[in-house]
Structure 1
């Protein structure tokens, strides 16, 4: 019986050069086209994808199918010893390439699919992601699953045999039933390219013939597996990493994950497409949504971790268990499934020369030997709408990737390892995934012994070493072991393919390293305590590298790019000693106060002893041998119920001890270190207590001074603000600046219960109620004069009396003490709440706002226009508004309490919905920032915000950091992530992909500039692949996932 003609998608890669490629040319390659199978019983693959362009290839016909010569093929296995050192054994000199039917012609071009315009409205999905406060809900609606959907109705196709056992057995095995080939109505294809202009691993490439067939085996010959040498892989990866990723619109919404059973996710993204009822039906297939033109390269490691190969893996490496389903059922079920699968992939009427029973037997044996099935994991979420499915990207990309299989086993060179078995399973999974185009993607086995590994360093990268973090307390974010720094992660910054958890930990350590506060009191993190204790041990092995190094020059802030490992260049360094890059001890710390959740307040007895001792003790470190450790409750752990007499006395006397102990600031004096796990969260409560006590200042001033003058990050909770409000009165009463000579340093302060009751039960001051006070003209008893008018009641002075009353304090309660995150000296990243608080903006000196998709409350109130002249410039499409603000009253801005903002750039029609495109507005935003930066010599401060400050605005800030600091995407992402402090930045999946494209654009500009100057360079268009970075982001987010 003649098999019906089936469409085969012609595939050509992007235009290739050793350098970057213009995105506009890539867009033009996306043309609709399809080819056809021959009616011949042999499987025929066209080698030339176009009849109109490109050089024609050889007309010879070469079959990938051979007639079985042994009736005992069923029992034969791919287990004979062969030598992979010779990529072309003598018996394999003949080619096994697919055959071309010269008499067949291409079908006509398919018309493009019409798409409706984007939906008129969408939902914002910004969520709070606060570390330590609550766990982020990255996967609350769609927990990851490794199971493939059950019981989907199968669909048959003429010419293919229907097997009744499939539906029954797939339910038991939890494997997706195979459906016949789906409609190609929505299929897209490249226009034809020259063979030299496509991925060298592509079967249409002129280089493909150079890949020798794998050693003789019936199963490998049928599946046409190939060997790839290090030099060949180097050439392929060089082409691959210098070719742009497919356009964003081509990859989405498919990358979000569109499970057939997830009606909510599908309807969210496809509601406005052509024939939505058909696309949303349970029986419909979403294969037409799959980006058929996308082509990735994925290396699959099949060996377990062994010490001798610990340092290097191939780039883009994933483990087999990340993409293939495991065997989790009886052997009989495996046999039944595979025996039913193979005839569907190779119908006997089309492939009469294949011994299906023997092929199935070989695949069954591979399943039993490896423990994996020939099926990809389907991790698309089955319920809920999720826009941040980073955890499924490896599985998504596996469906459109060429594989390079390798291992580090000693038997790899003889061919007796499991690489061949895994390669066959992957190839069957590829054919299952793309049955209309079974050889669109290929599987290669790495012949690593044929050439020296050192000769091709560009194909290798460091192995992830974050496993050593499992030995550390996860709550101690800056805790590090000296031995690990030299043994496990010496080269972590030489590669951006792995170790993001380690990089984040190291960057946090440097960013929050110890700095001086008041007198000789220092703030720091666990690393500062660790390195000082190592110094005090006087270990001869570390004496040369660990020394007290006082800070010199101007005090640096945590947002200073100089306080970063990510901005340093380690490209030329080998065997990097990270200990020398981390902060050394900065002073003679001998009094340590550790703030943590399990701590209690210091006892009165201990505080009394220390106060008495250090009233009469020298402050020279050379004369003081004692080292003291105190514990103090962390921020967020103290409430009103803890404000008992003994606890409040302990707080005051702890501040008194710190002041006394650290009173000498001369060189060589003893100092105190207040530290916590990350250097800013748990210690914030004690720090504000100490500043109010030592400097006799209110809470608002202490917060601003810590941020602006001392340059320290901090994070407080709402409960902290309430407690600190009460403690402010008590701490300032006993401040040395108030008591002067009346203070008795040798004794702890004794506070009566009556005094405490007066403080705790004292009503709120008028100032703190200012924002809720009744306007003057509405108060009972207010009589307007004959000359009074509405305009007079709203003049500048009246506006001040009604709105500024208590504003100094109200912003602390409004924002719960939190300030926007300072990412760069001129860039703040915050929320809509921050943007709506004019007092905070004024105090921080922020004069420019970029509102990404949100509207400011104060900007839309008519009263604001009574005191300001506002002009608006709007772009032609209405998506960008530039709002200029000039106060009418001269004293309006001079008070520092009102609107000091001079301009607002507002981006309209931009939601965090995984659909809206931010990249179009990005150049205009960054141009605006650059213009203001140049005009003010970097002194103008911007607040970039969306609703929460984790997705839309975070994406803009990452792009600004990339351009400003000349960093790649991974560097900029980690730089912003660390400085957002307790808020986890989470640009949605589409925004992250747009950042990839933006990074490509920026790097292309750099490469072109260097080429124009004839400067040598080795940069690639991408330093990391899409699915690899998604995997690293998944690991970073893992501690915050529920359950």
Structure 2
């Protein structure tokens, strides 16, 4: 990571339009997570019980007076480091203390108020909590960025004449995923430290600090806080001094390079995605994996040396016979240095029922061509003609097999059509066996489009007939029932013994058995199985668990169910099986349980566990709502307490929410 450019890209901010945002990871999408029906008795949250871990309202920070009107203070790097460390080691406020306030309750948003507050004005007030917020003068967070720092425009209106905080609560609509407002909401109940980089004129920092102090006075008056309960400080040490003495507080150094000292969600999602889809051999000398990325840690990359890299992407075409002959000649050059690169059309590019025979011919020729260069010992010298063009491709003896990597950005989506077709051809497997064996025996996670399922099922007889390793009759191959219910995606393997999926996966018990899944944990959604299925497949009641009355509505808690759910998953692990955790879509309620288990099993902090699960959900982005996310941070506290470890968060709530909002912004419509 040292020396890498900053992530997220410099133009990605919470307050910009979608224009100029970075390219999202291909095929990822944000599914719609309905809050579900409003159940009588659940329209409003229950009254908050007395807080068990209320935050001390005394200031975290001590500093020196700078001026009285408005009140401003200065602070040293030592004092700032001590204050941030103190905050990181304090328990977070209880969930009941900060919700529904964190959801965003604007006075004009009648939908949000009716759902969460139901005219109870008491829950609209800001809770008695305090935090620390760092604001960088100028707002350029691409360099000299301290841990958790935000830009002034995330807190203040654009006009420098206005001395109030922006209204971050949404005026209209309903959402339980307002991650983009959390940094601002927490800043309003924070002691705020303003700092600049080496190029910042001190007068700019003073002017910004005065605006913030005046905004704090106005906010205190509006919300009934004592005057000067929250204060504004200016860092009087240079950024270079902080970088030298407290490197753990620096996320991006003065040159704009990531330091690696602060958890970076963009980096860790990419790292975990590549670690999950790390290149592995699916058939002799043929590998599937992500596009090699030298910016990532070598620990998640393959240690293999490849002769040929085949990248599958949406802009590529299927190579014709002339191109294949050309690449064959290049591969055999004795003075060739490094791997040879070529491209192939991505998954979903051949669309039933309009696909042409020439497209299938090209796919088959590609599979044969790869097999011949990877397994020359099984190919006799011959001269054959392609069915695409009247061109002869001369097959000659090759000195040694060539290692081939079929790759794409995420390592599991665009490669799936070519990877599955080749696996069927090279191993002589029907599509249903290829699906299961590639996942279970070869350990590959992959996502195929429904069109790929239809195509491979239709051309299965031809693949098997031309396969060098299929010995049976194509007329005696029958497809299992579960294949017809498959939409292309398998449940996501989060851990060897735990899968994350949707209600469709849960209602396909034959598929689950094929994958070695022996238990089902249903979070808020009921299975819809035919009466005789449970008996036929020997699904006992003890292998099914239902967590009832948990809607994805930002009100219903999951905390009380964590221990019971994790014990059910653990029992399945002890039996040598695997558990499917599902809700309706597989992104919020069930994802929350899976993150809790990853934190419990691997001992990861919430930010790292979140990226771990997010990467392994394949083409779907997990979306635990605000309350579930907050509960998981409290779960981290509990985990540390149970392991007799001192409480210390890697990142604070406002920073985590801000990072999640930035990660999801490229996918928002």
Give the TM interval when normalised to the shorter protein.
0.7 to 0.9
What corresponds to 1:229 in structure 2? 76
Spell out, residue by residue over 1:525-580, the C-alpha distance to the aligned partner (whole angstroms, 9 max, x if none): 221xx66xxxxxxxxxxxxxxxxxxxxxxxxxxxxxxxxxxxxxxxxxxxxx9554
* Post-superposition CA distance 1:68-122 (Å, at most 9, x none): xxxxxxxxxxxxxxxxxxxxxxxxxxxxxxxxxxxxxxxxxxxxxxxxxxxxxxx
- Does the C-alpha gap of structure 1 residues 452 and 199 become closer, same or farther in structure 2, counting only changes over 3 Å? farther
> Alpha carbons of 1:703 and 1:1038: their partners in 2 closer, same or farther (altered >3 Å)?
same
- Could you tell me whether the CA contact under 8 Å between 1:188 and 1:291 is conserved in 2? no
Of residues 167, 170, 180, the one that matches 1:378 is 167
Verify the 8 A CA contact 1:842 1:900 in the aligned structure 2.
Answer: no
Q: 1: CA distance between counterparts of 2:69 and 2:341? A: 71
Alignment match of 1:425 (pick from 193, 199, 211): 211
The answer as to whether partners of 2:51 and 2:96 remain within 8 angstroms in 1 is no
Match of 2:131 in 1: 296
**Among candidates 385, 396, 402, match of residue 185 of structure 2:** 396
Q: Tell me, yes or no, if the aligned pair for 1:849 and 1:901 is still in contact at 8 Å.
A: no
Q: What is the CA-CA distance between 1:627 and the residue it aligns to?
A: 6.2
Q: 1:977 to 1:450 in 2, by over 3 A?
A: closer
Query: Partners of 1:720 and 1:259 in 2: how far apart?
Result: 46
Match of 1:495 among 247, 262, 287: 262
Residue 455 of structure 1 and its aligned partner are, at CA, apart by: 7.4
Matches within 5 A, 1:207-218: 208=62, 211-214=63-66
SS, match of residue 168 in structure 2 = coil
> What residue in structure 2 maps to residue 136 of structure 1?
30
Q: Is the 8 A contact 1:225 1:443 kept in 2?
A: yes
Deviation at 1:232, TM superposition (A): 2.2
CA deviations 1:124-156 (Å, max 9, x no partner) are: xxxxxx975585367999xxxxxxxxxxxxxxx
* Alignment partner, residue 116 of structure 1: none
TM-aligned CA deviation for residue 642 of structure 1: 5.2
Q: Distance in 1 between matches of 2:239 and 2:342?
A: 61
Q: Mark the CA change 1:945 to 1:664 in structure 2 (over 3 Å): closer, same or farther.
A: same
Partner residue in 1 for 2:457: 725
Which runs of 5 or more structure 2 residues have no equivalent in the other structure? 1-23, 36-46, 378-397
1:1022 paired with 2:649, answer yes
Change beyond 3 A, Cα 1:901–1:924: closer
Supply the distance in 1 between the matched residues of 2:554 and 2:338 (Cα, whole angstroms): 58
Q: Distance in 2 between the 1:1003 and 1:972 partners?
A: 14
Relative contact order (alpha carbons < 8 A, sep ≥ 6): 1 or 2 greater? 2
Q: Report the CA distance between 1:411 and its aligned residue.
A: 6.7
Aligned to 1:711: 443
Write out aligned runs for 1:240-639 (5 A): 240-271=87-118, 276=119, 279=120, 289-303=124-138, 305=140, 310=143, 312-327=144-159, 367=160, 373-409=162-198, 416-435=202-221, 436=224, 437-448=226-237, 452-453=241-242, 456-457=245-246, 460-463=249-252, 491-492=259-260, 494-496=261-263, 499-527=264-292, 580-583=298-301, 585-587=303-305, 589-607=306-324, 628-639=340-351
Distance 1:667 1:270, change over 3 A: farther
**Residue number in structure 1 paired with 2:609:** 972
Q: 1:264 to 1:199 in 2, by over 3 A?
A: closer
SS across alignment from 2:447? coil
Cα deviation, residue 664, structure 1 = 5.1
Q: Is the 8 A contact 2:494 2:617 kept in 1?
A: yes
Larger Rg belongs to: 1
Aligned-pair distance for 1:929? 2.8
How do 1:882-921 residues align onto structure 2 when only pairs under 5 Å count? 892-893=536-537, 899=539, 903-921=543-561
Q: CA deviation at 1:261?
A: 2.1
Q: CA deviation at 1:646?
A: 2.0
Tell me, which stretches of 5 or more residues in structure 1 are unaligned?
1-129, 142-185, 215-219, 280-285, 328-366, 466-486, 532-576, 741-758, 760-764, 768-805, 868-891, 1011-1018
User: How big is the shift at 1:449?
Assistant: 5.2
Count of residues paired in the alignment: 611
Among 482, 485, 494, the alignment partner of 1:823 is 494
Q: Map 1:600-999 to 2 at 5 A.
A: 600-607=317-324, 628-640=340-352, 643-663=355-375, 669-738=401-470, 808-858=479-529, 862-863=531-532, 867=535, 892-893=536-537, 899=539, 903-933=543-573, 935-936=574-575, 939-999=576-636
- Residue in structure 1 matched with residue 381 of structure 2 by the alignment: none
**CA RMSD, 1 decimal:** 3.6
**Offset of 1:502 from its aligned partner?**
2.2
Cα distance per residue 1:620-643 (max 9 Å; x no partner): x97877965443221122212652
After superposition, the Cα gap between the structure-2 partners of 1:653 and 1:306, relative to the gap in structure 1 and judged at 3 Å, is closer
Question: Partners of 1:909 and 1:189 in 2: how far apart?
Answer: 24
3-state SS of the aligned residue for 1:674?
strand
The 1-side partners of 2:399 and 2:563 are apart by 50
Q: TM-score, normalised by structure 1?
A: 0.54
Under a length normalisation based on structure 2, what TM-score does the superposition of the two structures give?
0.83
- Cα gap change, 1:818/1:660 in structure 2, threshold over 3 Å: closer, same or farther? same
CA distance in 1, matches of 2:627, 2:48: 22
Counterpart of 1:1036? 663
Query: Per the alignment, in what secondary structure is the counterpart of residue 150 of structure 2?
Result: strand
